Chain A
Amino acid sequence: MIVATLKPIDEILEKASSYRRILVLGCGTCATISDWGGMKAVRQISEMLRMARSDRMQTHDLKEFVVQRQCEPAFLDPLLNEIRSIDAILSLACGVGVQILSERFPDITVLPAADTHFIGTISNSNVYREYCRGCGDCDILQTGGVCLVARCPKASLNGPCGGEDEFGMCEVDPKERCVWIQIAERLTVSRREGFLDKIVTPKDWSRSRSGRTMRIPDDGITDESES
């Protein structure tokens, strides 16, 4: 999932304060799993907007809606009715959702209500961990299915950086174990320790640069035209 978190409420209220007619728009996929993109969250944010406006004696016209995915243009059709006579959409979605909304409705201001962090997963007790950085060149077989690009702050592909402490905790985030220790454990369990000794050559980053467009040919087989 895309991991994002809601911006501080004061920042959201401040951003929204210049607009009177606002559609508060949730997203039913990643943001809902994170517990702030579904209808419940949409209602809470709307209520806060209402209260803030009432405090300032401002009039308001708030609508509430949730689409299944803001990041897919096809899922935005149900909004065509909702966005009539709207000044702004307050988007409870990731940065992709915000951009797709802006593309689809260029005459309406789209206010991002969230900060998007990474592709990852939720562990227990509200801990989110980054798992993938979309490098376009997935090679996690030899690290026991653990991605160093996303999970090691130094992307140290050949082994621990030397900054881990006596107990194997990461130099950069001492609350996290060095990801290499996890890799060693995985490879040992699966009797593939041999991978640990294999020198990994410099990574091909050409498939992970910013501004990529991937063109899938009609046969759908290759993505060689990625740029």
Chain B
Amino acid sequence: MNPNHDLLTHINRAERTDIWEFRTTVTGDPRERIEQIKHVTGTWLAVKDNPQASPTLCALAVSALLKNSGYNPILTVNCRDCNRIALQSRLLGAMSLGITAILIESGIHPASGDDPHAKSVYDIDTVQLAGIAVGMSRRHQLLCGNTIDRATTLRVGVRLSPFKGNMQLQESMLRKYRDTPADFFVLETNDDMARFKKWYDSVYCKLCLSQIPIFICNSAGVKPEDNAIASQKGVAGWYYR
């Protein structure tokens, strides 16, 4: 893989690596949108996959267009819209188009989205999808056992909300992603520095996860320089919404 196009190599080489969320729209021609971000250089672009549970331009198509325009896309893949066959097909498509990183999400449920009459799929969950993606990329194997001819490397990221709900459950999810193993995490922190630090020391390091880079989601109005979280050990950079 070209090191310029490998997220982990980028993280290791750069002082800081940032991800910008790229929201596709309902358009047949996203060139204008791509033109709008031409000032964004040296970052990675996470292309959302039907955000708000309503259809937008296919994330894989946009990722390919971004790639061809010289950007480094991260293809977001949700578990809501496709079954395991379609998801693996999408990952094969990503490999064939030179996309090297994916970000896995469960996806907002249709009940909360713009098309509440849609049927959700949820054939597999995020841990399972991460495992399948890793199997495809590293062992060149599909879930059904078929071998992939010329698999390429995919860096597999997942979203974490470690401060929500039950801590024991959040820890167990982290363990599962560690064992998958995921390549990077995008973390919702609510900009709570004290809590993040405590979590980082007591949970993240305890689970030997400090080698797995974290991207911190920034919330509206918080600039990176205002927030000391981004300078923490293990933090690769920011994830801008």
Contact = CB atoms under 8 A, between A and B. Distances in A.
Interface of A: 153-168, 171-173, 178, 180-181, 184, 188, 193, 196-197, 199-203, 205
Contacts of B125: 154-158, 161
A155 B128 CA distance: 12
B228 interface: no
Given A181-B166, A202-B128, 17 more contacts: A155-B125, A157-B128, A158-B173, A163-B109, A164-B165, A166-B165, A168-B164, A168-B166, A172-B109, A180-B166, A193-B168, A197-B176, A199-B127, A199-B176, A199-B179, A200-B128, A201-B128
A165 B79 CA distance: 20
Given A171-B109, A181-B166, A162 B161 contact: yes
Contacts of B176: 158-159, 197, 199
B111 to A, nearest CB: 5
Nearest to A182: B166
A172 B112 contact: yes
Q: Point out which of A164, A181, A197, A202 has the most chain B C-beta atoms below 10 A from its C-beta.
A: A202
Interface in B124-142: 124-128, 131-132
A contact face: mostly helix, strand, loop, or mixed:
loop
Given A162-B161, A201-B128, A181 B169 contact: yes
Nearest to B175: A197
B209 interface: no
Given A154-B80, A156-B122, A157-B128, A184 B106 contact: no
A162 B169 contact: no
A171 B164 CA distance: 12
20 contacts: A154-B79, A154-B109, A156-B125, A157-B127, A157-B128, A158-B126, A159-B172, A160-B165, A162-B161, A163-B108, A166-B163, A168-B164, A171-B112, A172-B109, A196-B168, A199-B131, A200-B127, A201-B131, A202-B124, A202-B128
Contacts of A158: 125-128, 173, 176
A180 B171 CA distance: 13
Interface in B82-111: 84, 106-109, 111
Given A172-B109, A193-B168, A162 B159 contact: yes
A161 B124 contact: no
Closest A-B pairs by Cβ, 6 of them? A158-B127, A159-B173, A161-B106, A196-B172, A162-B161, A168-B165
Contacts of B132: 202
B189 interface: no
Interface string B134-162: 00000000010000000000000001110
Contacts of B127: 157-159, 199-200
A178 B80 contact: no
B173 to A, nearest CB: 4
B120 A154 contact: yes
Interface string B28-45: 000000000000000000
B22 to A, nearest CB: 21
B164 A162 contact: yes
B87 to A, nearest CB: 11
B122 to A, nearest CB: 4
Nearest to A165: B164
A159 B127 CA distance: 8
A172 B111 contact: yes
Q: Point out which of A160, A172, A184 has the most chain B C-beta atoms below 10 A from its C-beta.
A: A160
B103 to A, nearest CB: 13
Nearest to A180: B169
B209 to A, nearest CB: 14
A202 B169 contact: no
B164 A164 contact: yes
B201 interface: no
B74 to A, nearest CB: 18
A154 B165 contact: no
Given A154-B122, A160-B166, A178-B165, A197 B172 contact: yes
Interface string B111-127: 11000000010111111
